[in-house]
Amino acid sequence: MDNFLPGSASLVDCIDKKILVILRDGRKLIGWLRSYDQFANLVLQDTVERTYVAGQYGDVYRGIFVIRGENVVLLGEIDKEKEQNLMKHLQNVPIAEVREAQKREQERAKIREKAQKRVLESRGFSVDVLEQHDSY
């Protein structure tokens, strides 16, 4: 426990390393952590926004990215070997194809939610809200 640093001070070990950051809105950013402050505001360099859908992924280059700390849900260092093994099972496709697949997936999810709502209401349950929202 001698190495424990409370709060954002624990990020000191991640400086100049490739990290994955998941934001509150669901975006996944991958980049090199260059700086941070006491509020866990982050500066990423050579950042890409990666979108995953059904065994496929697409990247959009974002460059230098400043992230407000309150929007960070999760962050962690990327292990190069594990990333390479994972990427063997995923297909890199143009981002336009990934976004189309993502839209189709969202439409299917809406249809499933509506069907769930109908079934629950027919059995006497009250279904007020089945929406995705930012619960943070």
Quick check: is 50 in a domain?
yes
Quick check: is 84 in a domain?
yes
Quick check: is 111 in a domain?
no
Q: Measure the N-to-C terminal CA separation of the chain; round to a whole number of Å.
A: 30
Distances (CA, A) of 116 to 106, 109, 127, 132: 15, 10, 10, 15
Q: Which uninterrupted H or E stretch holds 35?
A: strand 28-36
Query: Would the pLDDT of 99 be above 90?
Result: no
- Structural domain count, the chain: 1
Residues 6+ apart with CB under 8 A from 89: 55
pLDDT for 125 equals: 87
Quick check: is 58 in a domain?
yes
Quick check: is 102 in a domain?
no
Quick check: is 24 in a domain?
yes
27: domain CATH number is 2.30.30.100
For residue 60, the enclosing domain spans: 7-93
Question: Edge-to-edge strand order for the sheet containing 91-92?
Answer: 72-77, 18-23, 28-36, 42-53, 56-67, 91-92
Higher-confidence residue of 86 and 103: namely: 103
Query: Would the pLDDT of 1 be above 50?
Result: no
Quick check: is 15 in a domain?
yes
pLDDT for 124 equals: 86
Quick check: is 48 in a domain?
yes
Report the mean per-residue pLDDT for the chain: 87
pLDDT for 62 equals: 93
Of 69, 68, 49, 67, the closest CA to residue 59 belongs to: 49
